[in-house]
Amino acid sequence: MPEGRIIAAMSGGVDSSVCAAILAGQGRLVTGVTMKIWDAQSPRDGGPGCCSMEAADDARRVCEKLGIPHYTLNATAPFKTNVVDYFVGEYRAGRTPNPCIPCNHALKFDYLFRQGAAFGAAKVATGHYAAVAEFRGRKTIAMGASLEKDQSYYLFSISPARVGDIEFPLAGFTKERTRELARTMGLPVAEKPESQEICFVPDNDYKNFVSTFPGGAPEGEGDIVTVAGKPVGRHSGYTGFTVGQRKGLGISAPEPLYVVAVDPAQNRVVVGGKDDLKSGALTASGANWLIPPEEFAGLELTAKIRSRDPGCPASVTILGDGRFRVEFAEPRLSVTPGQAVVVYHDRLVMGGGWIEKGL
């Protein structure tokens, strides 16, 4: 007998389409759901991104091919609140946001679970390259088999209570294998290119998006200064800069200069040499522990400070109020406020939080 109904989150791309196809091929009771998340009225407002109406049409055609129902849900309100407003607010605060992470926990693994009840579904499946595994009897997120495509970093903020009801059919796949299956199954999106942009900023012009978004305009021109406070140039808006940035500074110097801090309070950008980018530790807030810290105390841990970071041996100290400190075995470059730090034991996600600053 088939298991209970499961929602397949479908963006209209190859990964989510193969995810739905695998479940349907297993005889599961699958309902394909696409979230309309942004009103695509102009390039600034989103354009034909990964969750546009064009993408919903692609998902519908895949579901017709598979013989499963498909629905498009209007999720523009929760998406604006949890993702777009957050995105703009972080840049205004001098931090560098990662919108895919709140999109995952607030939309795919919160909104969809709540909406799934209307379809009689208690589980959600997505096309993420990640896995669900166990650590000492608790469910957690694990790296996918393909380290090149692994997306576990983006999933640290999922509620621990939800993990057991999530499925990742592509956990053991490479991207090449996924596309090969799409061709074999005759899915209409088999040759669809992979989206490389944030869905609501398809032209990748973050500075323009933030500056023209209501309430997002920066303070205007300001100084670019060295770590010693010496002015070396001017900027047209600090939201166009992120820690570690080298190109586009508009200044010349005998040695390469990098952004080492963004200071919205004084409307300035701080630059320095490569050594100024090194941090031996960081503090983070907004912790979400899939595994309670006391259960992984004393184990070998690694910490990743960006999605493609291979990770570095590290130790974790809990500070309270959702804050913690990570000490690295060796200095890390470009520890960026606003990005996530995710803590692993082997291939398993212990949890993570949002970087406050490098130390």
The per-residue DSSP string of 318-349 comes to: EEETTEEEEEEEEEEE---TTSEEEEEETTEE
192, with CB counted inside 10 A (0-12, 13-18, 19+), is middle
19 part of the active site: no
The token duo for 113 is: 């679970």
All residues at 6 or more sequence positions from 280 whose CB lies less than 8 Å from its CB, including other chains: 327, 328, 330, 331, 332, 359
Q: Annotated catalytic residue: which of 50, 51, 63, 199?
A: 199
Nearest to 335, CA basis, from 251, 260, 241, 253: 260
Nearest to 358, CA basis, from 299, 273, 278: 278
63 part of the active site: no
The token duo for 206 is: 């973050």
Nearest to 14, CA basis, from 49, 46, 55: 55
Nearest to 90, CA basis, from 359, 328, 336, 327: 336
Largest separation between any pair of C-alpha atoms in the chain: 72
SS (H, E, C) 64-130: HHHCCCEEEEECHHHHHHHHHHHHHHHHHCCCCCCCHHHHHHHHHHHHHHHHHHHHCEEEEECCCCE
Q: Annotated catalytic residue: which of 19, 50, 51, 103?
A: 103
Which residues are designated catalytic? Answer: 103, 199
